[in-house]
Amino acid sequence: MKTVLITDDVHPLLLSGLENRGFVCDYRPNITLQECRDQVADYYGLVINSKIKADKSFLEQARSLKFIARLGSGLEIIDLATAEAKGILVLSAPEGNCNAVAEHAVGMLLSLLNNLNQADREVRQFQWNREKNRGYELRGKTIGIIGFGHTGEAFAQKLSGFGVQVLAFDRFNTIHTNLKHVKICDLKTIQNQADIISLHVSLNASSVHMINRLFIEQCSKPFILINTARGQAVKIEDLLWGLENGKISGACLDVFENEKPETFTALEKDLYSYLYRMNQVMLSPHVAGWTFESKALIAEVLLKKLDMHKNSL
């Protein structure tokens, strides 16, 4: 019996799709990492999100496992080398939520540029501050995109009607795009020219704390930072330094180094409390790729990829 353990909330399409393909679904969205470790040995397939860390020791327990399906894009939670050595197929679905993340990034940016959160709060308090809430237009700005995979390109496509110049850099992939407003460049060009820098990187050794004080100091002018990728790509102390000193004029952050406030150290509580008080930042709780539409599309993408590999499963 080919039983698949599903460890997170998924769209019903994924459950019915797996069952129609002959799998038995064990749907346990509230399972803990330790429970999953203890029970993974007998499962044929595994559907996971970020709470399950499929490291080497985890995968060594998975004696019967043939595939892992990641709900989304980040594969840093899986030891890919061990999975390959054990013949475990690893699937992800960046195509499923790249549009959602791109729309969210545009929304955060427009809200920040136009002071919408601040203006909304003030109007609700019977304050009518038009000059204080005068905004900036996107038109004419230069936007640097670091990481030009599915999500980076989707973000660039969303910007196509705003009259902006997009600079695209990816340290791992050769960029091919038909978007006429996109110029492929190196990282230094982005640091020299960008008014806005948006991160769309995966988490790896080269991306951890890539936005640090040195990076910020090397930028030629103040810039707005957007991070809807991975929180660990931005060192919070250095981000705060940049915001304090005007090297970073604003920030749109959907992801953070620590996304569990209940685990904050005393230092982290101080740092995040300071960040949360800043008016020049826009914040959301890692929901950029978490739309109703993307939930269904992720299911569809994973099922299609399973079909592509059905002869080997």
Q: What angle is formed at CA 139 by the lines to CA 134 and CA 143, rounded to 5 degrees?
A: 105
Antiparallel, parallel or unpaired: β 223-227 and 248-253: parallel
Joined together, the tokens standing for residue 186 give: 């190196």
**Alpha helices by DSSP H, the chain:** 12-20, 33-39, 56-61, 80-85, 94-113, 116-124, 150-158, 187-193, 213-217, 236-244, 266-276, 292-308
Length in residues, the chain:
313
Task: Identify the CA nearest to 282 among candidates 156, 162, 76, 109.
Answer: 109
Task: Report phi then psi at 169, rounded to 5.
Answer: -135, 135
Would you say 203 and 74 are in contact if contact means Cβ atoms under 8 Å apart?
yes
The rounded distance, in Å, linking the Cα atoms of 303 and 83 is: 20
Catalytic residue among 37, 213, 286, 300: 286
* Residue 140 φ/ψ region, left for φ over 0, alpha for ψ in the -120 to 50 degree band, beta for the rest: left
Known active-site residue 286: yes
At residue 34, the 3 state secondary structure works out as helix
Concerning whether 293 is annotated as a catalytic residue, the answer is no
Region label for 2, one of left (φ > 0), alpha (ψ between -120 and 50) or beta (otherwise) = beta
Q: Which of 237, 259, 293, 309 is catalytic?
A: 259
> Out of 11, 104, 150, 230, which one is annotated catalytic?
230
Q: In which order are the strands placed within the sheet that holds 281-283? A: 182-184, 165-169, 142-146, 196-199, 223-227, 248-253, 281-283
181 catalytic residue (yes or no): no
Q: Give the residue numbers marked as catalytic.
A: 230, 259, 286
